[in-house]
Amino acid sequence: MLKKILPLLVISLLTVFIIDYFIGTAYIKLYSPEKDQKPLVEDVQPILEYGIPIDSFYVTEYTVRSNQTLGKILFSLNLTGNVNEFLLSLTPDIFDVKKVRAGARYKVFARKDSLQTPAYLVYEVSPVEYFVFNLTDSLYVYPFKKEIVPVRKISEAEIKSSLWVDMKANGLNPMLALELSDIFAWTVDFFGLFKGDKFRVMYDELYVDSTSIGIGTVYAAWFEHRGEKFYAFRFEQDSIASYWDEKGNSLRKSFLKAPLRFSRISSRFSGNRFHPVLKIYRPHSGVDYAAPEGTPVMALGDGVVIDMGYDKAAGNYIKIRHNSVYTTGYNHFSRFAKGIARGARVKQGDIIGYVGRTGYATGPHLDMRVWMNGSPIDPLKMKSPPVEPVKQENLETFRNVVAKLSAQLDSITPGSRIYYAVQKE
């Protein structure tokens, strides 16, 4: 009996094993997450630069040599297209051939074939602006701009020598110094910064790829000068963005603190100064700012040019009447700015001339003078009333903006040099 049953049992077991093996295996193959979720063909995105898939080309970078023109560059590539016809078709609105200057950079994209045939030429005008030349049989050119990415930052530094030097020492973009000097031009004397003065600022730094190209919007800042802290908050009123203190008073005053940036005071207002040219003691009713020749000089405030010309002592000079009380004067210009003439109206910050050494001057500098009701006063002690504050109907919105910006500006721990807030709103 056992001999009859045993073969049947063996056959049954083999059948179950075979069914379990093949069906089970098929089940695993059919539903395996690891294998089923993996695509048959991976979707690989090409690496693009200037809109060109660079992994398909050999890329070589060059520098425009002295006296090298666009024509010389194109002919050197032995192109198959009609280069002469292409060059004749170029107009300044398509591509200005005068943009090709010695020292500029360009890249050639060559195909990965036996001849390494040039396919594209990319000419750099700036870190943002480029022109792409298609070098196939049909030659043409089109503009290309790289994306500018703003990165929100909060930075802080203490003055130990000068604003510009300490910016660089703290790893900050020195252009931030210009932004701060513009914002606080009416409240902080940047020619008389003290060791220990400090600032904190929230702003966007602009990047192309991983390269900083400048400073974008400054949102809020404070500058501690001689123990007094001055605040600045960016707020838009009547569709115009400006800077205001924490109470809503405009930081823009009737006059700038100084008529030029980052110079040094070489001679102050004095009743008995030794004149370096005349070699005598006499009153000096102005302030001398030593600066390189050609440095732009700005009007301290809105006004009208009432006099200008050349004087033996003052050299090339300009006088501006701002209102019934104040008049300012600027001496020793190397030249006047374009459009400046008697009767011309100027705005605060307009360039009126350039530092020189005309007249009685031993070196390039600006001699600036201020008259109040016809009498000379010390420009460094002049008080300037603020312009219109934030309007009553905008105060609630302004206070909300200040509260938000203050919280962000003060959200960092004092003491470090640079803070980054990468997260954007």
What pLDDT is recorded for position 192?
Answer: 77
What pLDDT is recorded for position 284?
Answer: 59
> Between 11 and 19, where is the model more confident?
11
User: What contacts 372, CB < 8 A, 6 or more positions away?
Assistant: 325, 326, 382
Cα–Cα distance measured from residue 97 to residue 165, given in angstroms and rounded to the nearest whole number: 39
Strand bridging mode 228-237 / 118-124: unpaired
Residue range 344-368: mean pLDDT, rounded: 91
What pLDDT is recorded for position 383?
Answer: 72
DSSP at 135: -
pLDDT tens digits along 98-117: 889 999 999 999 999 988 99
Cα–Cα distance measured from residue 140 to residue 79, given in angstroms and rounded to the nearest whole number: 13
Residue range 319-331: mean pLDDT, rounded: 90
Q: What are phi and psi of 141, to 5 degrees?
A: -135, 145
In 3D space, the residue among 311, 344, 305 whose CA is nearest the CA of residue 327 turns out to be 305
Q: What are phi and psi of 411, to 5 degrees?
A: -80, 0
What pLDDT is recorded for position 28?
Answer: 34
pTM value surpassing 0.75:
no
Q: Please spell the DSSP secondary structure of 183-214, one letter per residue.
A: HTTTT--TTSPPTT-EEEEEEEEEEETTEEEE
Helix, strand, coil shares, percent, the chain, to 5? 20, 40, 40
What pLDDT is recorded for position 280?
Answer: 42
What pLDDT is recorded for position 64?
Answer: 95
Contact (Cβ atoms closer than 8 angstroms) between residue 266 and residue 326: no
Identify the band that residue 34 occupies on the pLDDT scale cut at 50, 70 and 90.
very low
**What's the burial of 220, exposed, middle or buried (CB within 10 Å: 0-12/13-18/19+)?**
buried
Domain definitions of the chain by residue range: 48-145, 149-253+400-420, 264-381
Instruction: State the average pLDDT for the chain.
Output: 82
pLDDT tens digits along 209-238: 888 999 999 999 999 988 899 999 999 998
**384-422 per-residue burial string, b: 16 or more CB within 10 A, e: under 16:** beeeebbeeebeeebeebbeebbeebeebeeeeeeeeee
Residue with tokens 């050494």: 357
What pLDDT is recorded for position 285?
Answer: 62
| pLDDT-wise least confident of 4-13, 158-167, 177-186, 245-254 | 4-13
Options 3.30.390.10, 2.70.70.10, 3.40.50.620, 1.10.287.990; which CATH number does 264-381 get? 2.70.70.10
Cα–Cα distance measured from residue 344 to residue 321, given in angstroms and rounded to the nearest whole number: 11
> Between 206 and 416, where is the model more confident?
206
What pLDDT is recorded for position 361?
Answer: 83
The strand pairing partners of 273, in sequence order, are 282
What pLDDT is recorded for position 313?
Answer: 87
Cα–Cα distance measured from residue 384 to residue 306, given in angstroms and rounded to the nearest whole number: 21
Q: How many Cα atoms sit within 13 Å of 317 on the Cβ side?
A: 19
pLDDT tens digits along 256-303: 888 887 555 645 444 544 445 444 444 556 788 888 899 999 999 999
Strand bridging mode 365-372 / 375-377: antiparallel
Identify the band that residue 9 occupies on the pLDDT scale cut at 50, 70 and 90.
low
Q: For the domain bounded by 48-145, which CATH number is listed?
A: 3.10.450.350
Beta-carbon neighbour count of residue 80 at 10 Å? Answer: 12
Identify the band that residue 404 occupies on the pLDDT scale cut at 50, 70 and 90.
very high
Cα–Cα distance measured from residue 255 to residue 53, given in angstroms and rounded to the nearest whole number: 54
Q: Does the fold of domain 264-381 match that of domain 48-145?
A: no
What pLDDT is recorded for position 293?
Answer: 92
CA dihedral angle for residue 120, residue 150, residue 156, residue 348, rounded to 10 degrees: 100
* pLDDT beyond 50 at 35: no
Residue range 333-355: mean pLDDT, rounded: 95
- Our measurement of the distance from residue 253's CA atom to the centroid of its chain's CA atoms, rounded to an integer in Å, reads 25
Identify the band that residue 14 occupies on the pLDDT scale cut at 50, 70 and 90.
low
Cα–Cα distance measured from residue 205 to residue 148, given in angstroms and rounded to the nearest whole number: 10
Beta-carbon neighbour count of residue 51 at 10 Å? Answer: 11
Residue with tokens 């000419």: 123
> Between 334 and 28, where is the model more confident?
334
What pLDDT is recorded for position 60?
Answer: 95
Distances (CA, A) of 358 to 38, 361, 363, 365: 79, 6, 9, 9
- Our measurement of the distance from residue 154's CA atom to the centroid of its chain's CA atoms, rounded to an integer in Å, reads 16
Could you name the CATH architecture of 149-253+400-420? Roll (3.10)
